Amino acid sequence: MQITPLSETHAAEVTGIDLKAKFDPATVEKLNKALVRHIALVFRDQVLSPPEYAEAVQIFGPLKVERYKSEFGISESPHVIEVSNQARDDKGNRIKHGRVWHTDDADEIDPPNYTVLYALEVPESGGATGILNTRDGYESLPVEMRRQLDTMRVVPLRTGGRARLAEASKAFIFDEKTRFEEGNHHPLVRTHPEAGTKAIYFHGVKTDRVEGLTPDETRDVLLDILDRLENSKFLYKHQWRKGDLLIWDNRSALHQAYFDYPETATRLLHKTILKGTRPYGPAMPLSEFDETGNVSA
């Protein structure tokens, strides 16, 4: 097994490994440490049925049930969903999954540590997945800016927030009913429980506001961060090949899909997520939570 960096700051390719194999504890530990260090790992030329895929990824942690299982789940495995550019909404419009920077399920009390994608069919060109290193990116920001970000708590909405960075496929209406769809508040700067590092953490569609800021002010904050990080060494764009398995650490990165390929091309991936814990950070330290992960009274 060999681990080779793919960029200056993050992402690495693991070669000489078949994920269907059974690994000894030392190999599992090495892979897990590499994932935390490199943020994203790529395993190419894998041949995995849905059950084999779901089994293989558990070397990085237990599976978590996808919230979109009822819409995009597959019959062969209860923890695997399809991510396809052929999916359509109830109006017949093509659904463009993940086209803005986000971290998965940031509105949940226990969002996934890791997200995993496995490529079944991909365009000849385009259709990459971007992994934005917000761990090292955070450290590159001016000291005063980091101090301000460290104090911020994000209010997400399950249905999509007013500070969203792009329009969704359906019109968003904010009313008093929507207010009850608030997700769990989380720090904008999240501390990694294993590495002790800090990283920018938010969902580009579900964010409604930062506590104490308006949605417009919140959007300005998020866009300022992205302007500083997106076109830099902190962005790795994974160009897919059939058989690629890509896993990344949601606690240290944002991700998005690129739709720079013909609509006639098919992009079909299988997705799983692995269980995580309540996000904490400078603005929401662990001491605020009880043993269930809820904010203490």
pLDDT in tens, the chain (297 residues): 999 999 999 999 999 999 999 999 999 999 999 999 999 999 999 999 999 999 999 999 999 998 876 677 788 889 999 888 877 777 777 777 788 999 999 999 999 999 999 999 999 999 999 999 999 999 999 999 999 999 999 999 877 777 878 654 334 444 445 555 778 899 999 999 999 999 999 999 899 999 999 999 999 999 999 999 998 899 999 999 999 999 999 999 999 999 999 988 999 999 999 999 999 999 999 888 765 556 554
- Buried b / exposed e over 197-208, threshold 16 CB at 10 Å, is ebbbbbbbbbbb
Would you state the pLDDT for residue 85? 85
Residue 161's pLDDT is 76
Amino acid at 183: G
Sequence-distant (6+) residues with CB within 8 A of 195 are 36, 37, 252
pLDDT (0 to 100) of residue 286: 86
List, in sequence order, the alpha helices (H) in 151-261.
176-179, 215-229
Residue 75: what pLDDT?
81
Question: From the DSSP assignment, how many helices (H) and strands (E) are in the chain?
Answer: 7, 17
Report the half-sphere exposure of 218 (CA within 13 A, side-chain side): 25
Instruction: Supply the pLDDT for residue 232.
Output: 87
For residue 91, the model assigns a pLDDT of 75
Enter the DSSP assignment of 130: E
Give the pLDDT of residue 173: 45
> Which architecture characterizes domain 2-288 according to CATH?
4-Layer Sandwich (3.60)
Q: What is the pTM of this model?
A: 0.92
Predicted local confidence at residue 133, as pLDDT = 98
What pLDDT sits at residue 257? 95
